[in-house]
Structure 1
Amino acid sequence: QRAVCGSELWSVYTRRYPSKADLRQPEVEFVDGAFRYVADGEVSGEEKVVSESVESLPTTEVEDEFSSSDASPGSVDQAISTPPSTTFCSCEDEEEHITNVKEVCEDETDGVRDMSDISQKSKKKIDTLLPEGPGLTTYASRLEAAPDHAVIAPIKYLATLPSKGVRDTFIDALNWWLEVPEDSLRTIKTIISMLHDSSLILDDIEDDSTLRRGSPAAHMIFGTAQCINAANHIFVMVLAELQKLRSPLKTAILIEELESLFVGQADDLHWKYHVDCPSTEDYMEMIDNKTGGLFRLCVRLLQAESTRTDVLDLDPRPFVRQLSLFFQIRDDYQNLVSDAYAKQKGFAEDLDEGKISLPIILTLQRARTRPEIMGVLKHKQPGPMAIEMKQYIVREMEKCGALESTRELLQGMQEDLIAELRRLEGDFGAKNATLELVLRRLWIS
């Protein structure tokens, strides 16, 4: 039996790479334990064997040989044995080889251009799903013009629900300081809106929510599987949008803050699933990751795209942390006490979800009825909690002072936010009345 080199067979029947003849490289043979170049006009014994073996086989038999494992141990050992010495080519041969390599590299460069064409085609598909053009300058207008495709239908549905537009106003307020070019500003707004929509869809699924802003949650209409797919597809569109930004830091910023967001969400889901009451400090850290991730992403992208060179070293993280903590704890509080929230999402919807919010944490730390409340949470069935159970838990929150403590904490945070705003105004060298107005609209009296 003879062992036939698979590379030789591959090169004969699958011409992906140039042959040795194409590259004008001398043939090599293995003789008496050493490699050597074949003299001009001489055919190596091994090459002759390979050539005759290949020519005598039809294509189907060659394919069968690739899947066969009948090579003898002796032939395998011989094929992989290491020669004691090696003969190197001369300088002239080396120069000729370098020239040939350059020619091959040029051919490969053409292949890279072809891949670039493929990338452009892929981008066109994404642009079709989220069109661009005259009059389509906002995320909302682009969604409205988007086709009725299943992969984007849940996102288009979310866009029809009432929204106060706080995110765009917040970005515009920050841009008063940062002076980001208009095209980059539009792109950042689109990226933040996309990620926010994705988080809403996934949050409603993970929290078993049936309502979103007073209307059915997206997965109640399009199904859980389709909504998960649509929410994941948003990340593809985000990456496409991200390429429009100029800063070389854009991808690193996105990765860092998305990781924070998912880590925070994991903690939140873990406590809910295991009915585990974290410490107040752990809960604050979760908020800093989950809610703060999107806020920081927004601020850092704006900073990276800013035309002002004097703002790159400014640190907005203390302000962003205060804002994200206030935003989430305010939502925890309003979910339990606000009539407006009750109309949109139902009374104390966080209890329906089994969410471990700050008022729940404070209640479990203080209430003598902790075992009873833990029992209700642990034995809650999927779906809405009975209204009587929710009323019982809210009464216990009021009795132990958890709701009052949460309200006082929020009022203290409001003062801290204004203090941080004044610090930033000093750093940037200008007042920001719009940002202050955005904050004061969220105040708890």
Structure 2
Amino acid sequence: MSKFVEDHTTKESDEKQTEKVLLDPYHYICQIPGKQVRTKLVTAFNYWLNIPKPELDLIGEATQMLHNASLLIDDIEDNSNLRRGVPVAHKIYGVPHTINSANYVYFLGLEKALKLDHPEVTKVFTEQILELHRGQGMDIYWRDTVCCPSEEQYKIMVIRKTGGLFGLAVRSMQLFSANKSDFKPLLDTLGLYFQIRDDYANLYSEEYETNKSYCEDLTEGKFSFPLIHAILSDPEDNQVLSILRQRTTDNNVKKYCVQLLEKKGSFEYTRQILIQLEDK
């Protein structure tokens, strides 16, 4: 009997250790303070949806898990160095371990969502995660082919990528609410505002420089909102596009590009778009 208990205890200990190892990159990113936008969104929407606390907590936890897991993958795909002011997870744990951890958490998030015990939850989960990956895929494609999208194409991408988890949270909540209003227009607006503001801050905000490397979107070669405006508003001048193509780490070149964006009115245009989104 004592041998059985000992073996059982050892097995439990091994499983806990395995789980810890699998989740180390995920726990690493979770310990870094973030904006908690999605958690706050769930709480805010419950003012209208008024769902029971157990379901609310499960949806909030699952959404936050998926968000943090997606950040692990994003940082690899973007070849980032910093996340919220500290080294990204894959610089600590390596790319293979971090990818596996993120994918593992995607399914842990689904497992948690299934505890909601609603026949539609898998459909909502699948549809919104697919949208997230469609948006991310186009963002990567434009970057890697140095193909500047139109402003409309950019907006569709953002609604899919940034709005994917917004939609997952709210649609899941509506499964348990009498309020079946169509919140997609509002969620689309929130997603656009959130991403365009992030794009603006990456190139313009001094605070952002302390959390990520200076003008990181230029090093990544990312077609962010201000850069798209600068490129499309003056097709004869290819300086901004050429700088993006270089994936520069030279801060002097980055500062010159920021001056170009200021000169072309791209920051002012971005600010006006953000004001319009705020007014919606």
How far apart are the structure 1 equivalents of 2:237 and 2:149? 14
Query: Match for residue 267 of structure 2?
Result: 403
| Cα deviation code 1:157-193 (max 9, x no counterpart) | 1121122333222211111221212211111011101
2:182 is the alignment partner of 1:315:
yes
1:358 and 1:163 map into 2 onto residues whose CA distance is 23
Select 1:350's aligned residue among 217, 220, 239: 217
Provide the residue aligned with 1:223 in structure 2.
94
Structure 1 segment 190-339 matched on structure 2, within 5 A: 190-306=61-177, 309=178, 311-312=179-180, 314-339=181-206
Letter paired with 2:211: Q
Equivalent of 2:20 in 144, 149, 167:
149
Q: 2:246 aligns with which of 379, 384, 394?
A: 379
State the Cα distance separating 1:409 from its structure 2 match: 0.7
TM-score (norm 2): 0.91
| Deviation (angstroms), 1:369 | 6.5
What is the CA–CA distance in structure 2 between the aligned matches of 1:163 and 1:321, rounded to whole Å?
22
TM-score when scaled to structure 1? 0.58
| One-letter amino acid of the structure 2 residue matched with residue 398 of structure 1 | E
Distance 1:183 1:147 in 2: 29
Between the aligned partners of 1:287 and 1:276, the Cα distance in structure 2 is: 16
Q: What RMSD, in angstroms, separates the aligned Cα atoms of the two structures?
A: 1.7
Q: Look up the equivalent residue of 1:258 and give its one-letter code.
A: I
Instruction: Please show how residues 11-30 of structure 1 align to structure 2 within 5 Å.
Output: none
> Can you list the C-alpha shifts for 1:254-301, whole angstroms capped at 9, x where unaligned?
111111110000100000001110111100000011111111111100
Q: Secondary structure at the match of 1:149?
A: helix
Q: Cα–Cα, structure 1 residues 150 and 369, in superposed 2: closer, same or farther, change >3 Å?
A: farther
Change over 3 Å in CA distance of 1:198–1:336 after alignment to 2: same
CA distance in 1, matches of 2:114, 2:70: 21
Question: Using the alignment, how far apart are the partners of 1:326 and 1:375 within structure 2?
Answer: 27
Task: Flag the structure with larger Rg.
Answer: 1
Count residues in correspondence. Answer: 267
Poorly superposed stretches of 4+, deviation over 4 Å:
none
Picking from 222, 226, 230, the partner of 1:359 is 226
1:368 CA drift (Å): 6.3
**Secondary structure of 1:305's partner?**
coil
Q: Distance in 2 between matches of 1:373 and 1:235?
A: 37
Q: State the percentage of identical aligned residues.
A: 38
CA distance 1:247–1:368, shift in 2 (3 Å):
closer
Q: 1:396 to 1:367 in 2, by over 3 A?
A: farther
Question: How far apart are the structure 1 equivalents of 2:18 and 2:146?
Answer: 42
Which letter does structure 2 place at the counterpart of 1:390?
A: K
Distance 1:174 1:285, change over 3 A: same
Asked whether 1:171 is paired with 2:38, we answer no
- Check conservation: 1:264, 1:287, Cα contact below 8 A: yes
**More helix by proportion, 1 or 2?**
2
> Which residue number corresponds to residue 8 of structure 2?
none
Note if 1:391 corresponds to 2:262: no
Question: Could you say what secondary structure the match of 2:119 adopts?
Answer: coil
For structure 1, list consecutive stretches of 5 or more residues without a partner in the other structure.
1-124, 130-145, 417-445
Structure 1: distance between partners of 2:123 and 2:158: 21
Paired position in structure 1 for 2:9: none
Task: State the shift of 1:199 in Å.
Answer: 1.0
- CA offset at residue 367 of structure 1? 3.5
Report what 2:276 is aligned to: 412
